[in-house]
Amino acid sequence: MPVTLLRHTTPDVARGICYGMSDLGLADSFPEEAQAVLESLSTVERIVTSPLQRCQRLAEHIGTSLSLSVQADARLREMDFGTWEGRAWSDIARAELDHWAADFLHARPHGGESVAMLTARTREALAEYAALQDHILIVTHAGVIKAALATGRTAAAYAATISYGGFITLIPPHQGPDHEH
């Protein structure tokens, strides 16, 4: 059955900050953004969310509106950027960024999680949910969505972009094309 991956709405953090799995709140624009998301979603039968509050708050809002319960799954949280969390990308040592770029999938110069680790847990969770008979809404993060859509092993394969409050529905190949919002 289809699985819709929804990115959380705008977080309460300055632009240019590496925030990964930091548990951030949401911007003051949340009510308007959440309403826009609700108006654009198709029917779903189950809601699963990252345990981070920026996803849980949106998932709970949608669940309340649709009279659905919400289940948290830690496999859907954003990548752990270790010592880079909370730092401006421009303040991270160039040598560390170069090390990461040289081995994009496996390097962990920040001491956190590798892209390969993020991809493995993301794909494990998605395979499990795709096997169910419900249309599932997964409220998650850009990194998880990029890992789900990646078709190769380079940084370019992970270059998909998705806006805050944006979503993509993954439809098994025999059912038709993907839909993106």
Helices (H), 41-114: 53-66, 94-102
Which residues contact residue 5 at a Cβ distance below 8 angstroms, ignoring those fewer than 6 apart? 138, 140, 144, 145, 148, 162, 167, 168, 169, 170
Give the pLDDT confidence score for residue 173 in this predicted structure. Answer: 53
pLDDT in tens, 33-47: 999 999 999 889 999
| Domains, in order of start, for the chain | 3-180 (3.40.50.1240)
Q: How confident is residue 175, by pLDDT bands cut at 50, 70 and 90?
A: very low
Q: How confident is residue 133, by pLDDT bands cut at 50, 70 and 90?
A: confident
User: Looking at the whole model, is its pTM more than 0.85?
Assistant: yes
